[in-house]
C-alpha cells in the first residue's frame, strides 16, 4: 500500500464516531477514504443528510495532519497499522459494531489464532487471585493448542496473566489505552518488552498525539472482550472495570467465566455476583474452561524421563502441611496452637514451604496448603 493511502485510512479511522457501518456506507457512496477528505463539505452533507462537524473542511484537515505525523512515527518504529478490511484484523472483533477501524500493533501474534482467552480482574489482586491466574494459564498451555492470552497490562490480575503466559510459552496480547509511544503503567515496561520478544503483542486503537484520559481505559475494555472467544474474571470487587468488561463480553455473545471466592472476600464479591446471577459460568481450572468451550485436549505424551521424585519433608514440615490440609486459611496463632511449634521456627518453616510451592501465603498472615 502507498504511504498516502495509509495516511488517508489512518485519518478516516480517527474521525470521531466513525464505526464500521458508517465507514462502509461512506466508502460505498464515495469510492475511497481519500475521496472522503477530498470531497467538498457541501457534497458530504448532501449525501449523508447530516450537519455533523466531522464533514467540515477544518476538521478533516486536522485529522489528516495528525495521521501524517502518526504515519511517520509508525514507519520509523516498526509498528503495524491494521485496518478493519485487512486479513490480519481480528475477525472476532470485526463482528462488534463498535470495533475501531484501525489498530496499531507491535509484535507478531496471530490475532485470529484458534483460541483467544481474555483474563481480567482487579488491580488489587490477592495471593489467591494471582495463584489462580498462574494455574489457569499453565493448565491452558498444557491442555490445548493455539491459546493466546489477552488482557490490559494493568496492575493486578492483568499483568499476572501476561507474565504467566510468557513463562508458559504462550503468546499474549496487551491491549493499551494509549498510543505506542509509551507504556502505562511504567512499572510494566519490562513485562511488555518480554511479551513482544516471546511472540506476544502490544495493541491499541490510539495514536500517539491523542491525550490519555480515564475514558480510554473503559473504551479499551471493548477490544479485550471483543477479540476473544471467552472472558475469565478472576477477581473483582462489587464494581470495577473487570465487571464492565464482562458485561461487554456478554453483549458480544462471548462466553463469560468467573472464579468463585469466599463471600467475605471483597475482591471476590463481583465474581460471586456474576455467578449467582447466571451472568458467568463458574470456572475452577483450565480443564474446566476447555470442557465448557468444547476445545479438544492435547493427547498426553508418555514421558521418557525418570519419574518425578516424591516430595521430601521433615517432621515439622509434615506437621504444618497436615494441619493446613485440615484447617484451610489458618492464621499464625492457629497453627501455633494446632502444631505446638514455637513462632520463630514456625515462621522459618512456613517461608521454606512457600518457596517450595507447598504453601500459599495469604493476607492477614494466613496460610493455605497448595493442593
Collapsing DSSP states into helix, strand and coil, what is residue 261? coil
C-alpha cell at 77: 518504529
pLDDT of residue 79: 95
Strand pairing class (255-258; 115-120): unpaired
CA-CA-CA-CA torsion sign (38, 40, 41, 42):
negative
Provide the residue ranges of all domains of the chain, joining segments of one domain with +. 3-76, 115-293, 315-369
Multiple choice CATH, 115-293, 3.40.50.450, 3.40.50.300, 3.90.1710.10, 3.40.50.150: 3.40.50.450
C-alpha cell at 81: 497499522
Top-level CATH class of 315-369? mainly alpha
Q: Has this prediction a pTM greater than 0.85?
A: no
- Mean pLDDT split into 10-residue runs, the chain, 371 residues: 88 95 95 96 93 95 96 94 97 96 97 97 95 97 95 97 97 97 93 96 94 91 98 95 96 96 93 96 95 86 50 86 89 90 85 78 79 65
Residues 176, 204: Cα–Cα separation, whole Å: 5
pLDDT of residue 19: 93
pLDDT of residue 303: 42
pLDDT of residue 1: 61
pLDDT of residue 367: 86
pLDDT of residue 249: 97
Residues 334, 129: Cα–Cα separation, whole Å: 24
Cα–Cα distances in angstroms (integers) from residue 321 to residues 134, 311, 313, 335, 341, in the given order: 22, 12, 9, 10, 13
Angle at 164 between CA 349 and CA 308, to 5 degrees: 55
Buried b / exposed e across 105-117, counting CB within 10 Å, b at 16+?
Answer: bbbebebbeebbb
Q: How many residues does the chain have?
A: 371
361: which strand partners?
Answer: 367
Contacts 24+ apart (CB under 8 A), 361-364: 361/127, 362/126, 362/127, 362/128, 362/329, 363/126, 363/127, 364/331
Residues 292, 294: Cα–Cα separation, whole Å: 6
**HSE-up (13 A, CA, CB side) for residue 278:** 0
Strand pairing class (115-120; 147-151): parallel
Residues 364, 367: Cα–Cα separation, whole Å: 9
Residues 295, 287: Cα–Cα separation, whole Å: 9
Rg (CA), the chain: 25
| String of DSSP letters for 206-257 | --TTSPP-HHHHHHHHHHHHHTSSEEEE----SSSHHHHHHHHHHHTT-EEE
Amino acid at each position: 500500500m502507498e504511504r498516502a493511502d495509509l495516511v488517508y485510512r489512518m485519518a478516516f479511522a480517527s474521525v470521531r464516531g466513525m464505526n464500521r457501518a458508517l465507514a462502509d456506507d461512506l466508502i460505498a457512496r464515495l469510492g475511497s477514504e481519500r475521496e472522503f477528505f477530498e470531497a467538498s463539505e457541501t457534497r458530504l452533507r448532501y449525501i449523508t443528510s447530516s450537519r455533523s462537524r466531522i464533514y467540515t473542511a477544518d476538521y478533516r484537515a486536522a485529522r489528516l495532519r495528525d495521521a501524517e505525523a502518526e504515519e511517520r512515527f509508525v514507519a520509523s518504529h516498526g509498528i503495524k497499522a491494521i485496518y478493519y478490511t485487512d486479513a490480519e484484523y481480528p475477525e472476532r472483533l470485526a463482528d462488534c459494531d463498535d470495533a475501531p477501524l484501525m489498530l496499531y500493533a507491535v509484535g507478531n501474534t496471530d490475532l485470529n489464532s484458534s483460541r483467544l482467552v481474555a483474563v481480567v480482574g482487579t488491580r488489587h489482586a490477592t495471593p489467591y487471585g494471582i495463584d489462580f491466574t498462574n494455574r489457569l494459564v499453565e493448565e491452558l498451555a498444557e491442555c490445548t493448542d493455539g491459546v493466546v492470552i489477552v488482557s490490559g497490562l494493568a496492575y493486578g490480575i492483568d499483568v499476572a496473566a501476561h507474565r504467566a503466559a510468557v513463562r508458559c510459552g504462550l503468546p499474549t496480547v496487551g491491549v493499551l489505552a494509549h498510543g505506542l509511544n509509551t507504556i502505562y503503567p511504567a512499572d510494566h515496561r519490562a513485562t511488555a518488552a518480554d511479551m513482544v520478544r516471546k511472540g506476544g503483542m502490544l495493541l491499541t486503537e490510539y495514536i500517539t498525539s491523542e491525550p490519555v484520559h480515564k475514558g480510554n481505559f473503559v473504551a479499551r475494555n471493548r477490544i479485550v472482550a471483543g477479540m476473544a472467544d471467552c472472558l475469565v474474571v478472576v477477581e473483582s470487587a462489587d464494581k470495577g472495570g473487570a465487571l464492565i468488561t464482562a458485561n461487554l463480553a456478554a453483549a458480544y455473545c462471548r462466553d463469560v467465566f468467573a472464579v468463585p471466592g469466599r463471600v467475605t472476600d471483597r475482591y471476590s464479591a463481583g465474581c460471586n455476583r456474576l455467578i449467582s446471577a447466571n451472568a458467568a459460568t463458574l470456572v475452577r481450572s483450565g480443564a474446566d474452561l476447555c470442557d465448557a468451550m468444547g476445545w479438544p485436549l492435547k493427547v498426553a505424551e508418555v514421558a521418557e524421563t525418570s519419574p518425578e521424585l516424591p516430595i521430601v519433608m521433615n517432621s515439622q514440615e509434615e506437621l504444618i502441611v497436615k494441619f493446613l490440609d485440615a484447617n484451610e486459611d489458618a492464621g499464625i496463632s492457629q497453627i501455633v496452637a494446632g502444631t505446638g511449634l514455637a513462632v520463630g521456627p514456625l515462621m522459618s518453616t512456613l517461608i521454606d514451604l512457600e518457596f517450595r510451592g507447598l504453601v500459599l501465603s495469604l493476607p492477614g498472615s494466613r496460610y493455605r496448603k497448595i493442593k
